[in-house]
C-alpha cells in the first residue's frame, strides 16, 4: 500500500460522513446544528441556532463558526463540519451577504445586525 491509499483509508474510517450527509450553506445563512453531548454515561442532543459568520478549511477538516445572541451576549461556536457528534444541520434562512467572512456582525446590535433574506421562488423550492 502506498501513502495515498493509507491516507484515504484512514479518512474513510475517521470521518464516515460524506458530502451527501451535509447540506450546502454559506456565510450569512441561519442554520440549526443539533449535536450530541455526552455527560458521563448519558447522552443528549442540544441545538444551536445562529448565523454562519465563516467557513474555513478544506476537505474533511472544514470548520464553520456560528454566532447567536443569547441573553444580550454574543455567543460564537466553532463546529467541525464532518464531526461524528453532529446529528443534523438544518438551513433555516438563506442570507444575502457580500463577504465570505462576516466579522462585522460582531460590532452591530439590534436592527443593524439583521441580514437580508434571499427570496425563494417556486422553481427553487422543488
Cell, residue 10: 484512514
- Residues paired with 43 in a beta bridge: 38
Residue whose grid cell is 460564537: 76
**Rounded CA separation 50/76 (Å):** 9
Torsion angle, CA of 84/25/79/6, rounded to 10 degrees? 50
In the chain, where the domains are located = 3-111
User: Which comes out higher in pLDDT, residue 99 or 125?
Assistant: 99
**Cβ neighbourhood burial of 89 (10 Å; 0-12, 13-18, 19+):** middle
- What pLDDT, on the 0 to 100 scale, is given for residue 41? 93
DSSP string, 31-70: EEEEEEEEETTEEEEEEEEEEEEEEE--GGG-EEEEEEEE
Give the pLDDT confidence of 2-53 residue by residue, as tens digits: 888 887 777 677 666 666 678 899 999 999 999 999 999 999 999 999 999 9
Count of helix runs (H) and strand runs (E) in the chain: 2, 5
Question: What fold, for 3-111?
Answer: SH3 type barrels. (2.30.30)
- What pLDDT, on the 0 to 100 scale, is given for residue 14? 67
Amino acid at each position: 500500500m502506498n501513502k495515498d491509499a493509507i491516507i484515504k483509508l484512514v479518512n474513510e474510517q475517521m470521518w464516515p460522513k460524506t458530502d451527501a450527509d451535509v447540506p450546502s450553506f454559506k456565510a450569512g445563512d441561519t442554520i440549526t446544528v443539533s449535536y450530541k453531548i455526552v455527560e458521563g454515561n448519558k447522552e443528549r442532543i442540544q441545538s444551536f441556532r445562529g448565523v454562519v459568520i465563516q467557513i474555513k478549511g478544506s476537505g474533511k477538516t472544514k470548520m464553520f463558526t456560528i454566532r447567536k445572541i443569547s441573553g444580550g451576549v454574543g455567543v460564537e461556536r466553532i463546529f467541525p463540519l464532518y464531526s461524528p457528534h453532529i446529528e443534523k444541520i438544518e438551513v433555516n434562512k438563506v442570507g444575502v451577504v457580500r463577504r465570505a467572512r462576516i466579522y462585522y456582525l460582531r460590532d452591530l446590535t439590534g436592527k443593524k445586525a439583521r441580514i437580508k433574506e434571499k427570496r425563494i421562488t417556486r422553481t427553487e423550492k422543488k
